[in-house]
Amino acid sequence: MSDTFEFDKPHLLPDLESPLAEEARRLRNPRPECCVTLGGIPLAFGAFEWPFHRSTSGADTYIVHGEVHLADGGMRGLHAKIAASVTVTFAEIIPAMEQPYSESFVYNAIRKTIDMGQLEFLKSGNRQPVPVTTRYYSRWQKKFIFTETDDKARLAYLLSKVYWLSGVLGANQPVWIADPRDAQYLNTTEADLLRMAGSEAGQGLLALDGEFAAPTPALMARADEFRATLEASLNFTKPQFNESMRAGKANM
């Protein structure tokens, strides 16, 4: 929360309670700054300069800068510097341009942009744009919608999340399954995520404790599968060049 947040505005406080309660539960994760994408890329968010500020380029937008690092337990040093933007019109949807009100949809927009192959992970580089547009918000349903998923995709997501965030990064400490941020990203409910986790627990892949889950040896034995998925998803984010054109062999 920035020093300029106006706590004397009562209408902002009810919308503050829910994200703060969610963050308190998220902080029980071994790596609360981490999440995964649908493509199975583990991420660590950091260095976000909240709150949003008006663009200095003359554009009619608000901007927040941050970084997203590949968090696969290795030392590759790959990351993306982010410039997430919303229009002034879009900002009217949000109670305030502060972190508690905005963090979830910004992080989910970044994950969605990675899913579309539009953010590249580099060892250095300039900031990459992440436009958070009204196409992610349904005024009719009054909610954010990032990705339509089915049970198969949600199950793959949960297994990937527990493998990376608990098994690889968290020393097998349990991670929160019923995270509303994930539910928003996957366009489902916290109850549905718990239902699916319960099913996998019954099949011996997850050790479920209330709303938290850790991997079993059977899930960790699938390490090659998760790492192959990660490499394929990382490759998808890299610019693809026509080798014939680069070699000057193509007819122009």
89-141 pLDDT tens trace: 888 888 777 888 889 999 999 999 999 999 999 998 899 999 998 888 888 88
CATH of segment(s) 151-237: 1.10.10
Strands (E), 134-205: 137-138, 143-144, 175-176
- 53-82 pLDDT, tens per residue? 888 776 788 999 999 999 999 988 999 999
Determine how β-strand 53-54 pairs with β-strand 42-46. unpaired
| Sequence ranges of the domains in the chain | 10-144, 151-237
Tokens of 229: 């998925």
**Is the whole-model pTM more than 0.85?**
yes
Residue 132: φ, ψ to 5°: -100, 100
- The answer to whether the beta carbons of residues 161 and 41 sit under 8 Å apart is no
pLDDT band at 220 (very low <50, low <70, confident <90, very high): very high
